[in-house]
Homo-oligomer: A and B are copies of this chain.
């Protein structure tokens, strides 16, 4: 069994949402599993890279606005455009990591619910209540989860995850690493699939 494909995501990224909707089926086609790893774009893009937020970048922001819905349509993934003002994924990602410690598959189900809450239903994912609502719907003990993600250990877990992402060169979402090969973007899945099929970068006949 080969090593899992690392899937780095931030719930605030619409392209991360598109990646989340595709990666498990793609991996399964190649007999691979997926290790879901949250990080924070705010830290990577603003602090480490020293860039401005994507949607405040001239020209590129307009492109993204046009590109998101057409790519979602092409991939057959439902997508809405939520109001992103003040949205942060910090609590949801702490909750993900708390659940992952106990049960990675449960954590994935939670992650899919959070992604869909924001990008399909257009509802906020920032508030503790929103995070607990999605977790308790899966049978999770809300009070215990809340206590864990408000604890120093729960906060340190996400800080460590963000640092690990930076250390591995992750700078955008979604970001995939397979056998050490990095892939940035849900539009690079064709290249990840090539790698999983061939294991090299030799050109193939069309």
Contacts and interface: CB of A to CB of B under 8 A. Distances in A.
Interface string A156-200: 000000000010011110000000011011011011001000000
Contacts of A139: none
A202 interface: yes
Contacts of A169: 59, 62-63
16 contacts: A44-B59, A49-B57, A49-B59, A49-B60, A50-B57, A50-B58, A51-B51, A51-B52, A51-B57, A58-B171, A59-B166, A60-B171, A71-B191, A71-B201, A73-B203, A74-B191
A152 interface: no
Interface of A: 44, 48-52, 57-60, 62-63, 66-67, 70-71, 73-76, 166, 169-172, 181-182, 184-185, 187-188, 190-191, 194, 201-204
Which residue of A187, A190, A202 has the most chain B CB atoms within 10 A of its CB atom?
A187
Contacts of A184: 63
Nearest to A168: B59
B182 A185 contact: no
A63 B182 contact: yes
A50 B52 contact: yes
A171 B62 CA distance: 10
